[in-house]
Amino acid sequence: MSGSAPSLPHLIIIGCGFGGLEAARSLARAALRITLIDRSNHHLFQPLLYQVATAGLSAPSIAAPIRHMLRSQRNLTVLMAEVSSIATAAREIELADGQRLPYDYLIVASGATHSYFGRDDWAAHAPGLKTLADAFELRGRLLSAFERAETLADEAARQPWLNFIVIGAGPTGVEMAGTLAEIARHTLRDEFRRIDPAAAQVLLLEGSDRVLQAFKPELSAQAQRQLQGLGVQVRTGCKVVGIDAEGVDVEQAGRRERLPARTVVWAAGVAASPLGRQLGVPLDRAGRVIVEPGLNIPGHAEVFVIGDLAAAHSLDYRGERRPVPGVSPAAKQMGRHVARQIIGRLKGQVLPAAELPFRYRDYGALATIGRKAAVADLGRLQFSGYPAWLFWLFVHIYFLIGFRNRLVVLMDWAWAYWSFQRYARIVVEPVSGEERH
Amino acid sequence: MSGSAPSLPHLIIIGCGFGGLEAARSLARAALRITLIDRSNHHLFQPLLYQVATAGLSAPSIAAPIRHMLRSQRNLTVLMAEVSSIATAAREIELADGQRLPYDYLIVASGATHSYFGRDDWAAHAPGLKTLADAFELRGRLLSAFERAETLADEAARQPWLNFIVIGAGPTGVEMAGTLAEIARHTLRDEFRRIDPAAAQVLLLEGSDRVLQAFKPELSAQAQRQLQGLGVQVRTGCKVVGIDAEGVDVEQAGRRERLPARTVVWAAGVAASPLGRQLGVPLDRAGRVIVEPGLNIPGHAEVFVIGDLAAAHSLDYRGERRPVPGVSPAAKQMGRHVARQIIGRLKGQVLPAAELPFRYRDYGALATIGRKAAVADLGRLQFSGYPAWLFWLFVHIYFLIGFRNRLVVLMDWAWAYWSFQRYARIVVEPVSGEERH
């Protein structure tokens, strides 16, 4: 490898999401060799994935090719590969193609995937939203649903194609539901001759008692009002007990109900990456790795777990120990914290005891509901509505990677805002021959 | 249907490529009902499809949602559906879902697909480039090939992943080969640590004696020189006799040769849409429908075939009868010619005999080779090199649909030209679990 002596320590980072990327960049000048492994070739700006799923942005606007981003970092090699196993005793990992890579330090940042609470058969009927493949699948289904309704002569046969159900009222579910309602009522207006797209029903189902469970109750209430203003039907205390190709079965207040819908979106459960199980240490109920305060695993000071895969805790501003949420800023901060420790150790130093535990700085949470509505919880400051939406807009553009991406996204949104249009309305013909009838 | 009396004649247009779209638009004010059917939801600007396949443009830049484009045309209904059969005696078509639609006029404009000259087993190893699905497949394969090479420790195992073969030196093949060479030599420079992407070999194989067979020989020679200047190895008089997952077998000058390559692009043969066979009239060897001079089929003045599906002839400027080429301007002109006849008949008129035969106006042909090179054949005027490339650039942007598309494409290209970068470098994780090893 160019420019690196074989005697340098070798760090392997698995996963190039927010955590892995931040760790890699923070070590740009460190005296070690880094191998960054991801099974896709791009870093994904996940907060905007729902925009690709709803045809508002094209995929390249929110995804940056990893090796292009990091091409100037000479101590870093990027590999697009899948990691099949980790052997912490031997200090090596194994790739899907059988290659073994030894390491001196390991950061596992492979994130989370969907959890269907044990009902993996639901996955085929209710795709989630974690990857670009997910976003394309959802986009194809939602656009095709309106198309299918338009071809049907029978009105009764049409309505299930115009019913959309989103399961889970966290930020992703809220954003999807709000955007679906906008698409039906505004974007597609005038474009159909047989159906009225505004007749589409968008249901948002939530098992707990309020939407945006992680936000303050006043903001949950605001968000629900804004959703309803957009035409979304919000049902809280509503538990999903079955999903098939034609709809969803729910239980609410002791009664069971059938909700016919041809398009169902899963935004309800998250499960940690299977790589967590490879580490041989205790996991929490969601499969996340229970890490020590410094983010390493028990018994191995050289193995760290960060991001959505980690079950980490931090003291909040009141000094209380709270779980670190699975959000992008937390992943980035964890990446930096691990990098700091590694840099110290390379110099033969250990962080002072007071600085060793990870401290999460909570800058607040944002969720957008529609083209003019959002909620923002910045700790002592909360606001909603149009100002929150503007704030949300600028934060997201700022954190996008690359000038061009920011410019194109800004352009897309400015135009879309003005004209209600969405510019990525592509349905790719089914390659495998599967069609939904 | 809004605003249309049931007594108006019904026109069905199958296919929303250049021909079908032009026919539909030309009939915007005609007193009839139009149903425009396409199995995808978008109109594709095919000349730029190779840009999506080589990660230079995102899909929405070259694809426009049909019903959005035509939303103001009140006499038109758009259906996203697949046509399974056509019954010309009964004057009705059947959709894949079993619905039957009667018509008074029918325009079949369903275009062409790939032909593997009877060897359909080659399709899995050498994708073509006709649809967005094709472009995504090719893009994923070519980006993944460099990624795979980077993960391989063994140098001998790497080279086939760095060998790219393009089969067929028409405009599509020439554009793909030139762009692949640019990607290897410029775009990906500095991004890899183990491989040198400039070590990639790009082979362009052509069965006939020159590239761009449809152009004048001087331009073919120019194009070949430009390709070679980019690093493409051009092999003419080279016939493909076998394709598998690991390479291509060819016969040249009586000798058989094995060319190892993990990425093969098919740009060699085109076959007409299977719907042509539904019409019960003679077809040519490529499956195209042999149409009468007015573009209708024999025995049915109300059924027209246009675009790549039609085997049409026209008198050239010398008065000689020549086949109409399968190019976008020809399809558009055919669409307009059919529309003109239908408009006349709705008024109870028939076109004068001299105007009935379709006359193709050949404005010339363009092919681009790389970022600064192209060939243009405008009849009496031919030119090549940088001026041809500028001309090609402006023609393509002009014919794109929609201001936003034009602006974004111009921006992408301006930036890419200056920086050699390509902005749509996405590999979507394999959804079906297939991986190439």
Give the chain B residue nearest A154 (alpha carbons).
B99
A302 with A243, same domain: the answer is no
Per-residue confidence band for A124, with pLDDT thresholds at 50, 70 and 90:
very high
Q: Which of B321, B355, B389 represents a domain boundary (last residue)? A: B355
Record: contact B147-A80, CB cut-off 8 A = yes
User: Which residue from B60, B96, B153 is facing A426, i.e. has the nearest CB?
Assistant: B60
Q: Which residue has the higher pLDDT, B57 or A125?
A: A125
In a domain, B64, yes or no: no
- Predicted local confidence at residue B427, as pLDDT: 66
Q: Where are the beta strands (DSSP E) in B6-99?
A: 10-14, 33-38, 42-44, 63-65, 76-80, 83-87, 92-95
Q: Which residue has the higher pLDDT, A163 or B3?
A: A163
- Predicted local confidence at residue A416, as pLDDT: 62
> What is the set of active-site residues of B?
175
Q: Is A246 a catalytic residue?
A: no
Q: How far apart are CA A33 and CA A27, in angstroms?
A: 10
Record: contact A77-B194, CB cut-off 8 A = yes
In a domain, A65, yes or no: no
Record: contact B429-A95, CB cut-off 8 A = no
In chain A, residues with a C-beta closer than 8 Å to the C-beta of B76 are 193
Size of interface A-B (CB pairs under 8 A): 157
Please choose, from the candidates A114, A87, A217, the residue with its C-alpha nearest in 3D space to the C-alpha of residue A168: A114
Q: Could you give the number of structural domains in chain A?
A: 2
Which tens digit of pLDDT belongs to each residue from A381-431?
Answer: 777 777 777 777 777 777 766 656 677 777 666 666 655 566 677 766 443
A175 with A299, same domain: the answer is no
- Predicted local confidence at residue B415, as pLDDT: 60
Q: How far apart are CA B391 and CA B227, in angstroms?
A: 19
A326 with A380, same domain: the answer is no
What distance in Å separates residue B358's CA from the closest CA in chain A? 32
In a domain, A68, yes or no: no
Q: What single-letter DSSP state applies at residue A153?
A: -
For the residues A18-46, what does the mean pLDDT come to?
95
Q: How far apart are CA B289 and CA B112, in angstroms?
A: 11
CB B263 within 8 A of CB B141: yes
Which tens digit of pLDDT belongs to each residue from A230-284?
Answer: 999 999 999 999 999 999 999 999 999 999 999 999 999 888 999 999 999 999 9
Q: Which of B301, B330, B355 represents a domain boundary (last residue)? A: B355
A232 with A163, same domain: the answer is yes
In chain A, residues with a C-beta closer than 8 Å to the C-beta of B147 are 41, 79-80
Q: What percent of chain A has pLDDT over 70?
A: 90
- Predicted local confidence at residue B369, as pLDDT: 75
Alpha carbons within 13 angstroms on the beta-carbon side of residue A359 total 11
Q: Which domain holds residue A338?
A: 10-39+81-114+271-355
- Predicted local confidence at residue B436, as pLDDT: 38
Q: Which of A13-27, A255-269, A353-367 has the lowest mean pLDDT?
A: A353-367
A378 with A407, same domain: the answer is yes
Burial class (CB in 10 A: 0-12, 13-18, 19+), A9: middle
- Predicted local confidence at residue B387, as pLDDT: 77
Q: Which residue has the higher pLDDT, A37 or A370?
A: A37
For the residues A108-125, what does the mean pLDDT come to?
93
Per-residue confidence band for A437, with pLDDT thresholds at 50, 70 and 90:
very low
In chain B, residues with a C-beta closer than 8 Å to the C-beta of A143 are 41
- Predicted local confidence at residue A415, as pLDDT: 60
Alpha carbons within 13 angstroms on the beta-carbon side of residue A39 total 19
B383 with B240, same domain: the answer is yes
Record: contact A1-B194, CB cut-off 8 A = yes
In a domain, A61, yes or no: no
Q: Which residue has the higher pLDDT, A45 or A259?
A: A259
Kindly list the averaged pLDDT for each block of 10 residues, start to end, along chain B of length 437.
Answer: 68 97 97 96 89 87 89 96 97 96 98 90 94 92 95 91 97 93 90 94 96 89 93 96 97 96 94 94 94 97 97 87 90 96 93 91 76 73 75 73 67 62 62 32
In chain B, residues with a C-beta closer than 8 Å to the C-beta of A39 are 429
- Predicted local confidence at residue B434, as pLDDT: 33
In a domain, A55, yes or no: no
CB B20 within 8 A of CB B116: no
Helix (H, G, I), strand (E, B) or coil at A351: coil
Which tens digit of pLDDT belongs to each residue from A73-116?
Answer: 999 999 999 999 999 999 999 999 999 999 999 999 999 988 89
- Report the CATH number that the domain containing residue A332 is assigned in CATH: 3.50.50.60
B228 with B292, same domain: the answer is no
User: What are A12's strand-pairing partners?
Assistant: A35, A106
- Predicted local confidence at residue A71, as pLDDT: 93
User: Which residue from A60, A82, A426 is facing B424, i.e. has the nearest CB?
Assistant: A60
A126 with A236, same domain: the answer is yes
pTM across the whole model: 0.87
In chain B, residues with a C-beta closer than 8 Å to the C-beta of A97 are 151, 437
Question: How open is the CA angle A137-A142-A145, to the nearest 5 degrees?
Answer: 120
Alpha carbons within 13 angstroms on the beta-carbon side of residue B204 total 33
Per-residue confidence band for A433, with pLDDT thresholds at 50, 70 and 90:
very low
User: Which residue from A79, A80, A404 is facing B423, i.e. has the nearest CB?
Assistant: A404
Give the chain B residue nearest A71 (alpha carbons).
B191
User: What are B84's strand-pairing partners?
Assistant: none
